[in-house]
């Protein structure tokens, strides 16, 4: 048992008992109370969970005892009764300190450390709750005395104060007990090595003959020699037994070594096979990579050639379009000029009365009306069928005109074709 944790354990246990007594005060145990009052001939004891004759619950209204108006008109006093729950909390912390103090007393330094921490927390909580007890029940006592009632502090206040002092001392002693001596029980419980009888007999066999020869007579020396020989035989037997056992162990180790060596050789063969397979597969992988690069290069070249061909075709089409535009412009100018010539010929025909001139003009007009539809065939606004029908109609008209010239018929002017 570690004596270093003893003082702290004792004071924490004493504080635990005092806090438990203060917690079970009135109305659970009317002999312990924080305030005793005589109201209307009735003796009232105030505790943690109520007062004499009230239900046991946390937080209780003191103004229900008021027999005069204006005694407890503030909610502060009522709210402070809820804080009395710190009494059982402080008792629980003291109990934890006691439990770990027992572990520290059983030669465990960690238990003493936790006991000191729990005792420190219990000391802080107990200090807070003792101050609240004095304030709460001091206010209540003064109000009751001001109204003419008898009131005085109970014994629970001094129990809490004693617990506070005990916890303060227990915290200090447990803290200093951390640095005490804690012996390990396992070191004391180790078995004492006993000498081997075979080794002791062998040592006796080696060192005993000279001493026996110096101190004994020849008869005694013979008896001692027989005894020594007997012990020596036993030692030899023990040595043979040990040799057989060691040889068996060596054989087992050799078998396991051979098994391990066989397994290592098998693993090495597998590694060589894997390396051989990888060397076999590497050329095929290289060929596939080379073929992939060739395909990529061919694709790139085809793309470039296709692009160049597309550019050539596009440029050719642009040139053809330019040439076509120029031809269309030239044809449009030619058509306009031919139309002007036609109009002029028609004017000359109207004024002329000579048959020969009329014939020549008729032949020239046939040429014009043959050229004009041929030119109109390339125009986008007229189809070749409509121009052909117009040309046949013009031939019929001019044939009628030519037959009528000799009869003096009126010459009809030539009209340009219209869109069919």
Per residue in 12-24, pLDDT tens? Answer: 999 999 999 999 9
Could you tell me what percent of the chain has a pLDDT over 70? 65
Could you tell me what percent of the chain has a pLDDT over 90? 28
Predicted confidence (pLDDT) at residue 220 exceeds the cutoff of 70: no
Identify the band that residue 387 occupies on the pLDDT scale cut at 50, 70 and 90. Answer: low
Identify the band that residue 408 occupies on the pLDDT scale cut at 50, 70 and 90. Answer: very low
Q: According to the model, what pLDDT value does residue 100 have?
A: 94
Order of all β-strands in the sheet with 150-153: 42-46, 35-39, 150-153
Identify the band that residue 407 occupies on the pLDDT scale cut at 50, 70 and 90. Answer: very low
Mean pLDDT of the 383-397 span: 58
Q: According to the model, what pLDDT value does residue 48 have?
A: 94
231-240, 258-267, 403-412, range with the lowest pLDDT: 403-412
Q: pTM, whole model, 2 decimals? A: 0.46
Tell me if 371 sits within 8 A of 389, measured CB to CB.
no
Q: What is the CA radius of gyration of the chain?
A: 67
Quick one: 100 exposed, middle or buried, by C-beta within 10 A (0-12, 13-18, 19+)? buried
How far, in Å, CA of 90 to CA of 97, rounded?
11
Identify the band that residue 397 occupies on the pLDDT scale cut at 50, 70 and 90. Answer: low
Q: According to the model, what pLDDT value does residue 360 have?
A: 56
The more confidently predicted of residues 328 and 227 is 328
The more confidently predicted of residues 88 and 228 is 88
Tell me if 19 sits within 8 A of 163, measured CB to CB.
yes
Predicted confidence (pLDDT) at residue 203 exceeds the cutoff of 60: no
244-248, 268-272, 286-290, range with the lowest pLDDT: 244-248
Mean pLDDT of the 290-302 span: 82
Secondary structure of the chain as H, E, C letters: CCHHHHHHHHHHHHHHHHHHHHHCCCCCCCCCCCEEEEECCEEEEECCCCECCCCCCCCCCHHHHCCCCCCCCCHHHHHHHHHHHHHHHHHHHHHHHHHHHHHHHCCCHHHHHHHHHHHHHHHHHHHHHHHHHHHHHHHHHHHHHHCCCEEEECCHHHHHHHHHHHHHHHHHHHHHHCCCCCCCHHHHCCCCCCCCHHHHHHHHHHHHHHHHHHHCCHHHHHHHHHHHHHHHHHHHHHHHHHHHHHHHHHHHHHHHHHHHHHHHHHHHHHHHHHHHHHHHHHHHHHHHHHHHHHHHHHHHHHHHHHHHHHHHHHHHHHHHHHHHHHHHHHHHHHHHHHHHHHHHHHHHHHHCCCHHHHHHHHHHHHHHHHHHHHHHCCCCCCCHHHHHHHHHHHHHHHHHHHHHHCCCCCCCCCCCCCCC
Q: According to the model, what pLDDT value does residue 211 have?
A: 44
Residue with tokens 């010539």: 341
Q: According to the model, what pLDDT value does residue 411 have?
A: 40
Q: According to the model, what pLDDT value does residue 120 have?
A: 97
The more confidently predicted of residues 240 and 295 is 295
Q: According to the model, what pLDDT value does residue 135 have?
A: 93
pLDDT, tens digit, for every residue of 43-101? 999 999 999 988 898 888 776 665 454 555 567 778 889 999 999 999 999 999 999 99
Q: According to the model, what pLDDT value does residue 210 have?
A: 45
Identify the band that residue 208 occupies on the pLDDT scale cut at 50, 70 and 90. Answer: very low
Please count the other Cβ atoms lying within 10 Å of the Cβ belonging to residue 84. 24
Mean pLDDT of the 141-151 span: 90
Q: According to the model, what pLDDT value does residue 244 have?
A: 72
Angle among Cα 346, 350, 352 to the nearest 5 degrees reads 110
pLDDT, tens digit, for every residue of 336-364? 777 777 677 667 656 655 555 555 555 55
Q: According to the model, what pLDDT value does residue 395 have?
A: 58
Mention every residue, 6+ apart, whose C-beta is less than 8 A from residue 178.
4, 109, 112, 113, 116
Mean pLDDT of the 365-384 span: 52
Please count the other Cβ atoms lying within 10 Å of the Cβ belonging to residue 362. 17
Whole-angstrom CA distances from 258 to 13, 263, 266, 289, 390 are 67, 9, 12, 46, 116
Tell me if 177 sits within 8 A of 5, measured CB to CB.
yes
Whole-angstrom CA distances from 267 to 254, 270, 273, 277, 394 are 20, 5, 10, 15, 108
Tell me if 163 sits within 8 A of 190, measured CB to CB.
no
Predicted confidence (pLDDT) at residue 374 exceeds the cutoff of 60: no
Q: According to the model, what pLDDT value does residue 90 have?
A: 97
The more confidently predicted of residues 357 and 174 is 174
The mean pLDDT value of the chain amounts to: 75
Identify the band that residue 399 occupies on the pLDDT scale cut at 50, 70 and 90. Answer: low
Q: According to the model, what pLDDT value does residue 184 have?
A: 55
26-35, 158-167, 404-413, range with the lowest pLDDT: 404-413
């Amino acid at each position: 048992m570690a004596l270093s944790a003893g003082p702290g354990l004792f004071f924490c246990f004493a504080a635990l008992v005092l806090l438990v007594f203060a917690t079970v005060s009135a109305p659970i145990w009317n002999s312990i109370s924080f305030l005793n009052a005589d109201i209307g001939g009735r003796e009232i004891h105030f505790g943690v969970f109520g007062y004499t004759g009230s239900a046991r619950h946390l937080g209780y209204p003191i103004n229900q005892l008021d027999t005069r108006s204006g005694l407890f008109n503030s909610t502060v006093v009522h709210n402070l009764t809820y804080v009395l729950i710190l009494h059982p909390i402080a008792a629980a912390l003291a109990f934890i300190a006691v439990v770990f103090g027992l572990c520290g007393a059983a030669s465990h330094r960690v238990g003493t450390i936790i006991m000191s921490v729990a005792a420190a927390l219990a000391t802080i909580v107990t200090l807070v709750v003792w101050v609240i007890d004095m304030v709460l029940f001091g206010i209540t006592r003064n109000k009751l005395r001001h109204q003419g009632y008898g009131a005085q502090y109970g014994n629970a206040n001094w129990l809490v104060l004693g617990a506070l002092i005990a916890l303060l001392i227990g915290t200090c002693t447990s803290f200093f007990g951390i640095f005490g001596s804690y012996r390990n029980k396992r070191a004391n419980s180790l078995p004492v090595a006993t000498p081997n009888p075979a080794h002791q007999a062998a040592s006796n066999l080696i060192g005993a003959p000279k001493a026996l020869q110096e101190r004994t007579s020849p008869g005694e020396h013979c008896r001692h020699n027989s005894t020594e020989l007997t012990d020596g035989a036993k030692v030899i037997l023990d040595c043979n037994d040990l040799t057989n056992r060691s040889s068996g162990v060596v054989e087992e180790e050799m078998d396991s070594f051979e098994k391990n060596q066989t397994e290592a050789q098998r693993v090495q063969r597998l590694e060589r096979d894997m390396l051989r397979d990888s060397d076999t597969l590497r050329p095929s992988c290289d060929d596939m990579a080379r073929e992939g690069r060739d395909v990529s290069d061919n694709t790139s070249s085809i793309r470039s050639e296709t692009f160049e061909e597309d550019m050539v075709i596009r440029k050719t089409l642009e040139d053809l379009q330019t040439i076509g535009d120029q031809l269309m412009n030239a044809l449009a100018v030619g058509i306009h000029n031919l139309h002007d010539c036609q109009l002029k010929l028609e004017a000359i025909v109207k004024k002329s009365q000579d048959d020969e001139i009329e014939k020549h003009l008729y032949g020239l007009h046939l040429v014009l009306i043959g050229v004009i539809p041929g030119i109109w065939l390339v125009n986008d606004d007229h189809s070749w069928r409509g121009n052909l029908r117009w040309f046949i109609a013009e031939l019929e008209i001019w044939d009628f005109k030519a037959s009528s010239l000799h009869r003096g018929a009126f010459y009809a002017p030539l009209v340009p074709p219209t869109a069919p």
